[in-house]
Amino acid sequence: MKRVFQHPPAPTAGRRYWRSTDELADTPEFREWLEREFPFSAAQLNGDEWSRRSFLKLMGASVALAGFGVSSCRRPELYLVPFTKTVEWTIPGKFLYYSTAMPRRNGAIPLLVTTVDGRPIKLDGNPLHPMSNGASDVFVQAAINELYNPLRAKRIAENGQTKSVADFEKYLNDLRGKIGDGGGLAFLVEETHSPTRERIRGELEKMFPRMRWCVYDPLRSEAQNFATQISFGDDLRLVPRIERADVILALDSDFLDCAEGDIASSRAFTSRRRVSAPKDSMNRLYVVENRYTLTGAMADHRMRLPASQIPLIAHAIAMKVATATKDAGLGSVLATLQVPAGAAQFDEHWVDEAVNDLVSRSGAGLVLAGSQQPVVVQLLVYGINSALKNVGRTVLLRELHRNQNDNSILQLAGEMVAGRIKQLFILGANPVFNAPRALAFDPSGKTWIDWPELQKKVPDIIRLGYYEDETSALSRWNLPASHFLESWSDALSSEGHYLAIQPMILPLFGGFSELDLLTAVMGKPKVDGPELVIQWQYRGWNCAQPLERTNPAADPGISRDRAGARLFDRRRTLRKQLVAAGNARSDHEADLG
What average pLDDT does the segment 46-55 reach?
Answer: 61
Q: Is residue 510 part of a domain?
A: yes
Do residues 242 and 133 both lie within one domain?
no
Number of domains in the chain: 4
- Could you tell me if 434 and 505 lie in one domain? yes
Task: Write the CATH number for 271.
Answer: 3.40.228.10
Q: pLDDT at residue 74 above 80?
A: no
Return left, alpha or beta for 15; rule: phi > 0 is left, psi -120 to 50 is alpha, else beta.
beta
Instruction: Please indicate, yes or no, whether residues 465 and 507 belong to a single structural domain of this protein.
Output: yes
Note the pLDDT tens digit of each residue in 468-525. Answer: 999 999 999 999 999 999 999 999 888 788 899 999 999 999 899 999 999 999 998 8
Q: What is the Cα–Cα distance from 141 to 541, expressed in whole angstroms? A: 33
76 is a domain residue: no
- Do 506 and 588 fall within a single domain? no
Indicate whether 188 and 291 sit together in one domain.
no
Taking a C-beta distance cutoff of 8 angstroms, is the pair 494, 105 a contact? Answer: no
- Domain assignment of residue 128, given as a range: 96-149+555-592
Domain-located, residue 496: yes
Do residues 122 and 271 share a domain? Answer: no
Pick the last residue of a domain from 350, 366, 395: 395
How much is the mean pLDDT over the chain?
Answer: 81
User: Is a pLDDT exceeding 80 seen at residue 177?
Assistant: yes
Q: Would you say residue 87 lies in a domain?
A: no
What percentage of the chain has pLDDT greater than the value 90? 48
Q: Name residue 26's amino acid.
A: D
Question: Per residue in 310-336, pLDDT tens?
Answer: 999 999 999 999 999 999 989 988 988
Q: Tell me which amino acid residue 136 is.
A: S
**In a domain? residue 239:** yes
Residue 484 maps to which CATH number? 3.40.50.740
3-class DSSP state for residue 29? helix
Q: Dihedral through CA 321, CA 288, CA 226, CA 491, nearest 10? A: 120
Instruction: For residues 140 and 173, state if they share a domain.
Output: no
Question: Is the domain of 242 the same as that of 378?
Answer: yes
Q: 183 vs 33, which has greater pLDDT?
A: 183
Single pTM value for the model: 0.73
The letter for the amino acid at 72 is: S
Domain annotation covers residue 287: yes
420 and 320, same structural domain? no
| Mean pLDDT along residues 106-116 | 91
Which of 271-275, 376-380, 417-421 is the least confident region?
Answer: 271-275
Quote the strand ranges of 312-450, DSSP E.
Answer: 365-369, 395-399, 406-407, 423-427, 440-442, 447-449
Separation of alpha carbons 28 and 372, rounded Å: 89
Do both 103 and 32 map to the same domain?
no
Is the separation of the CB atoms in 122 and 144 below 8 Å? yes
Least confident interval from 12-26, 190-204, 348-362: 12-26
* Contact predicate 369/252, CB 8 Å: yes
Nearest CA to 211 among 414, 402, 415, 417? 415
**Sequence-ordered strand ranges (E) for 55-201:** 96-102, 109-116, 119-125, 156-158, 161-163, 185-189
Same domain, yes or no: 243 and 368: yes
Q: Residue 52: which pLDDT band, with cuts at 50, 70 and 90?
A: low
339: number of Cβ within 10 Å = 13
Residues 119 and 202 in one domain: no
Domain termination site, one of 70, 87, 107: 70
Long-range contact pairs involving 525-532 (C-beta distance under 8 Å, separation at least 24): 529/488, 529/587, 530/488, 530/500, 530/502, 530/586, 530/587, 532/196, 532/200, 532/488
For the segment 405-420, what is each residue's pLDDT rounded down to a tens digit? 888 899 999 999 999 9
Per the rule left: phi > 0, alpha: psi between -120 and 50, beta: everything else, 387 is: alpha
